[in-house]
Amino acid sequence: MTDPIRIANCSGFFGDRLSGAREMVEDGPIDVLTGDWLAELTMLILSRIRAKRPGGGFASTFVTQVEQVMGTCLDRGIKVVSNAGGLDPAGCAAAVEEVAERLGVTPTVAWVDGDDLLPRIEELAAAGALQPFHDDGDVGDLSRYLTANAYLGCWGIVDALQRGADIVITGRVTDAAVTCGPAAWHHGWARDDWNELAGGVVAGHVIECSAQTTGGNYSFFTEVPGMERLGFPWAEVAADGSAVIGKHDGTGGQVSVGTVTSQLLYEIGGPRYLGPDVTARFDTIRLEETGPDRVRISGTVGEPPPPTLKVAMNELGGYRNTVAVALTGLDIEAKAEVVESAFWRACPNDPSDFESVDTRVIRTDRSDPTSNEAATAQWRITVKDPDERKVGRAFSNSFTETALASIPGLYGLSGGPSGASPYGVYRPARVPSALVPQYVHVAGANAQVDSDAPTSGSADDGVTPSVVPDVDRVASEATERVPLGRIVGTRSGDKGGNANLGVFTRSDESFTWLSGFLTVERLRELLPEAASLPVDRHDLPNLRALNFVVHGLLDEGVAASTRIDGQAKSLGEWLRARTAEIPVALL
């Protein structure tokens, strides 16, 4: 058996800490440096950058970071693997080669493409190969697409490393592929080594979001040392697919069962985590703290992947504009009514003239306020329409006209009149894997790697049955009304237009209570914004966790959402702030 391979992460999104690569290379031993630059929203951002600046379709910050560490990586034999190629992997590779020439070094730079389906999108749709990701969805207006990229798997990366690449740059691969690929290459895994591949995917999922594994966005952050400068994580992946998650010694943050559990729940759906290379069974994962800042992940069962790839598509949705007005002091609701009536009287269009209108009164004011800010709520309106002029200055000027002829204490919160801004609509789809091969380019030689996976050899699941709560015992115990966050942690995020909300506990007794208490109906009561929306609940007793998927909370995705928190990052902390009758014994 081969020795474990230590794979480090230096980026969780386009804009993450610029010194991350240098820190991971210089602060401790690693074998592979990886980074994730591509959120669902990033592809839309890159398309807009490229439209303004041809050749700008990749993550430029990756090139900067590679320049900082290229010489050291070559000296130490550290491989670099990243999806920073975005919409232009070849252009990103060329930029890296320019840096190498300037530094006087000669790395072998490879790139992997084939994910960009935009040139083929009408052909695929006409053949019936392009289908909505959800059965009740649609693929929208094909002529309005800005991007359409399939989520490729890890085998193009494996091929590039096998052919001697020092730096591998991809387009849209799954976030976990940049970890699973080096692990599969190092250990020589076969394409039907389901359990091993599932372990590699889980390790990749845990470290893909940089400091979210070391204390970032963690509910119990007050227990985490060094929050002012968190270190980034690494995964030491063994030949059987198990992994130890850690961070460089002496860096800020914490790696614990809690932080790893929290990240495992990030942006997932049910227990089966579908991917292009393997289906990882999250209901089989086992976690164990093996030392300070060291957590072992083991037992993950893998199954064959689905026969289709997910396609992330961004459509030009139209244009939007927002006006926000302060409502200060007494009679907040009455002030909001006056502001809204006056606004529409001044606006050249009626509400029915817009494609959508979202109006909210956001109550951030307090009784007996001790500061001006504490006395302030806001009235906020967002309009969307295909006609840019309709939602432009003519719309936002409507507030200006009423500024001196309205309620007392009124002032603007949105920076004055503004023009319309474009927004994108995220539409996930699926396409047969066999129709989307990967193309690997190494040292002037090209190779094709098929994306369709074997369908045989599924492993036994070995799943532990769900915990059955002792409802009678819980009901008979003395309780106290306190915030749920006293005993539960959460992690929430966006999945297109849906929000996922993972809820976990840190003891078996607390999970027994939670699994009986937090039903879908109870969640809707606690989070009224979800009251009218479809909600799924998935149990993960091995992680002492529940995962909820709230469908449609984010409208048509983060770029189109009218919520202040368009990515649902704070949804879990809202739930933790809600109070409930909790058994005193658990407190």
Does residue 161 form part of some domain?
Answer: yes
Same domain, 298 and 327: no
**pLDDT digits 0-9 by tens, 108-126:** 999 999 999 999 999 999 9
Quick one: what percent of the chain has pLDDT higher than 70? Answer: 97
Q: Pick the residue with more confidence: 538 or 496?
A: 538
pLDDT band at 495 (very low <50, low <70, confident <90, very high): confident
Identify the CATH number of the domain in which residue 350 sits: 3.30.70
Q: What is the pLDDT of residue 1?
A: 74
Q: Considering the domain boundaries, does residue 460 fall inside one?
A: no
Beta pairing partners, 402 = none
How far is residue 448's CA from residue 441's CA, in Å, rounded to a whole number?
9
Q: Are residue 298 and residue 342 in the same domain, yes or no? A: no
Segment among 141-145, 216-220, 358-362, 482-486 with least mean pLDDT:
141-145
Residue 39 vs residues 42, 174, 426: alpha-carbon distances, Å: 5, 10, 12
Q: Does 317 reside within a domain? A: no
Q: 293-351 pLDDT, tens per residue?
A: 999 999 999 999 999 999 999 998 999 999 999 999 999 999 999 999 999 999 999 99
Mean of pLDDT values over 173-194: 98
Q: Is residue 375 part of a domain?
A: yes
3-class SS letters over 247-265: ECCCCECCCCHHHHHHHHC
Which of 409, 425, 441 marks a domain boundary?
425
**Do 298 and 340 share a structural domain?**
no
Looking at the domain assignment, is residue 94 inside a domain? yes
Decide: pTM greater than 0.75.
yes
Listed range (196-200, 247-251, 465-469) with the worst mean pLDDT: 465-469
Contact 499, 553 (CB under 8 A): yes
Residue at token pair 């961004």: 314
> What is the mean predicted confidence (pLDDT) over 55-79?
96
The residue whose two tokens read 């990586």 is 73
Q: How high does pLDDT run on average in the chain? A: 94
Task: For residue 421, list its beta bridge partners.
Answer: 320
Q: List Cβ neighbours of 14 (8 Å cut-off, separation of 6 or more).
A: 37, 38, 39, 42, 45, 46, 59, 61, 84
For residue 465, the model assigns a pLDDT of: 47
CA distance 272 to 214: 25
Backbone angles phi, psi at 390, to 5 degrees: -65, -35
Confidence of residue 39 (pLDDT cuts 50, 70, 90): confident
Can you give the residue range of the structural domain that contains 577? 471-586
pLDDT at 321: 95
Q: Give the Cα separation of 101 and 111 in Å (integer).
A: 18
Q: Are strands 498-505 and 488-495 parallel, antiparallel or unpaired?
A: antiparallel
Structural domains in the chain (count): 3
DSSP 3-state of 372: coil
Alpha helices in 232-352 (DSSP H): 257-264, 332-346
Identity of the residue numbered 56: G
Mean pLDDT of 564-580: 95
Provide DSSP, 544-568.
TEEEEEETTTTTT-TTT--SSSTT-
Angle CA 79–82–87, to nearest 5: 145
Query: Are residues 370 and 283 part of one domain?
Result: no
> Does some domain include residue 456?
no
Instruction: Kindly state whether residues 74 and 169 are assigned to the same domain.
Output: yes
Same domain, 219 and 343: no
Kindly report, residue by residue over 263-280, the tens digit of the pLDDT. 999 999 999 999 999 999
Two structure tokens written together for 442: 């190494």
Residue whose C-alpha is closest to residue 411's, from 475, 508, 346, 329: 329
pLDDT of residue 54: 87
Choose one of 305, 334, 361: the last residue of a domain: 305
Distance CA 124, CA 149 (A): 13
**Contacts within 8 Å (CB) and 24+ apart, 332-335:** 332/361, 332/363, 332/365, 332/377, 333/361, 335/379, 335/407, 335/409, 335/410
Q: Is 357 contained in some domain?
A: yes
**83 CB neighbour count, 10 Å cutoff:** 32
Whether residues 332 and 273 share a domain: the answer is: no
How many Å apart are CA 395 and CA 385, to the nearest integer? 12
Which amino acid is present at 194?
Answer: W
Ramachandran region, residue 94 (left: φ > 0; alpha: ψ -120 to 50; beta: rest):
alpha
Same domain, 179 and 301: yes
Provide the pLDDT for residue 486: 97
- 198 and 293, same structural domain? yes
Contact criterion met (CB below 8 Å) for 43 and 172: yes
Predicted pLDDT of residue 140: 83
Q: Which of 247, 273, 305 is the last residue of a domain?
A: 305
Ramachandran quadrant class, 164 (left: phi over 0; alpha: psi -120 to 50; beta: rest): left
Q: Are residues 21 and 91 in the same domain?
A: yes
- Give me the residues paired with residue 432 across strands: 308
**Helix, strand, coil % in the chain, rounded to nearest 5:** 30, 30, 40
pLDDT grade, residue 475 (50/70/90)?
low
Nearest to 266 by CA among 569, 575, 574, 578: 569
CA-CA distance, 425 to 318, in Å (whole number)? 9
Asked if the structure places residue 387 within a domain, the reply is: yes
pLDDT higher than 60, residue 135: yes
User: How many residues are present in the chain?
Assistant: 587
pLDDT for position 470: 57
Please count the helices (runs of H) and the strands (runs of E) in the chain.
Answer: 15, 26
Confidence of residue 472 (pLDDT cuts 50, 70, 90): low
> In the predicted model, is pLDDT for residue 400 greater than 90?
no
- Examine the domain organization and report whether 26 and 162 are in the same domain: yes
Same-domain pairing of 156 and 270: yes
